[in-house]
Amino acid sequence: MGNGTAIITGGSRGIGAATARLAAAAGWDVCVNYARSDKAAQAIVAEVEATGARGLAVQADVAEEADILHLFDTAAEQLGPVTALVNNAGVIAPQMRFAEMSAERIARILAVNTYGALLCAREAVRRMAKSRGGQGGVIVNVSSMAARLGSPNEYVDYAASKGAIDTLTVGLAKEVGNEGIRVNAVRPGLIDTDIHADGGAPDRAHRLGVSTPMGRAGTAEEVAETIVWLMSEKSAYVTGACIDVSGGR
């Protein structure tokens, strides 16, 4: 196969799972990371392998540095040098006003969405950088339109955790441009996945999607198409970009 090894954090469901399927079809060997959904991750690996690509599921909580090191080591050992990271794992918590949020909730949101994404990006750079013996690569961070809209009365903590992802994207792209590494982000809008149920509003994407310029929620596949384009040589001169995939929201 053509492209090398891609790690997709949170690849067991939603946008990550759709990205795993499309990346495999585009010639990537795919390491599907997950936190709890073992069966779902194994099912995505089977779909990856059905395309002729190699697949691997690795359990790792991206909020734990030791788990991240295990994830990157296992992917490289089993599939070969990692040349793409899709920093996708993310969580929200039930909608509430900011003043009501517990310290534990805020810490967990930042641990998974921000700290985890930063450490995964660091590991990717350590392994991809040409000055460190790597062969270059691509990092695609999954941010959110929340980073720009702020999610008042719902998830200001989550929005702030994603604002950091946009800043990471811009700064790291500038830092590692001469290392053969491109760093970009997508900002999904209202996408129909399970994440909204975790936030206490399973119908949120459809309910609010009708009021967006395109009049509907987006699909995980529509976000994955942009991610896989950013992973590909077709976007060879794109770095430091944050692309809205939001139907104009």
Cβ of residue 61: shortest distance to ligand NAP, in angstroms?
4
> In terms of Cα–Cα distance, which of 231, 234, 224 is closest to 19?
224
Residues within window 37-76 making contact with ligand NAP, judged by CB under 6 A: 37, 40, 61-63
Query: Is 31 or 35 the residue whose CB approaches ligand NAP more closely?
Result: 35
**Within 13 Å and on the Cβ side, how many CA atoms surround 236?**
2
What is the residue whose two structure tokens read 């690849």? 11
- How many other CB atoms sit within 10 Å of the CB of residue 107? 13
Cβ of residue 123: shortest distance to ligand NAP, in angstroms?
14
Q: Is 5 in the site for ligand NAP (CB under 6 A)?
A: no
Helices 14-25 and 220-231: angle between axes, nearest 10 degrees: 50
Tell me if 11 sits within 8 A of 34, measured CB to CB: yes
Output b/e per residue, 146-176; b: 16+ Cβ within 10 A: bbbeebeebbbbbbbbbbbbbebbbebbeeb
Q: Is 235 in the site for ligand NAP (CB under 6 A)?
A: no
Residues within window 98-137 making contact with ligand NAP, judged by CB under 6 A: 112
Query: Is 167 or 178 the residue whose CB approaches ligand NAP more closely?
Result: 167
For the record, the structure tokens of 112 come out as 């998974």
Cβ of residue 218: shortest distance to ligand NAP, in angstroms?
8
Query: Is 29 or 222 the residue whose CB approaches ligand NAP more closely?
Result: 222
Of the residues 6, 35, 176, 227, which one makes contact with ligand NAP according to CB under 6 A:
35
Per the residue annotation, which of 34, 115, 158, 237 is the catalytic one? 158
Q: Is 19 in the site for ligand NAP (CB under 6 A)?
A: no
Of the residues 205, 224, 228, 230, which one makes contact with ligand NAP according to CB under 6 A:
205
Count of residues of this chain found to bind ligand NAP when the rule CB under 6 A is applied: 32
Tell me if 115 sits within 8 A of 123, measured CB to CB: no
Give me the count of residues in the chain.
249
Q: Is 203 in the site for ligand NAP (CB under 6 A)?
A: no
Residue 198 phi/psi, 5-degree rounding, is -65, -25
Active site residue 158: yes
Q: Is 151 in the site for ligand NAP (CB under 6 A)?
A: no
For the record, the structure tokens of 189 come out as 């809008």
- Per CB under 6 A, the segment of 31-39, 119-127, 148-156, 173-181 that binds ligand NAP is 31-39
Query: Is 44 or 129 the residue whose CB approaches ligand NAP more closely?
Result: 44
Tell me if 183 sits within 8 A of 141, measured CB to CB: yes
SS3 236: coil
Interface ranges with ligand NAP (CB under 6 A): 9-10, 12-16, 33-37, 40, 61-63, 88-91, 112, 142, 144, 188, 190-191, 193-195, 198, 205, 220
- Could you list the active site residues? 158
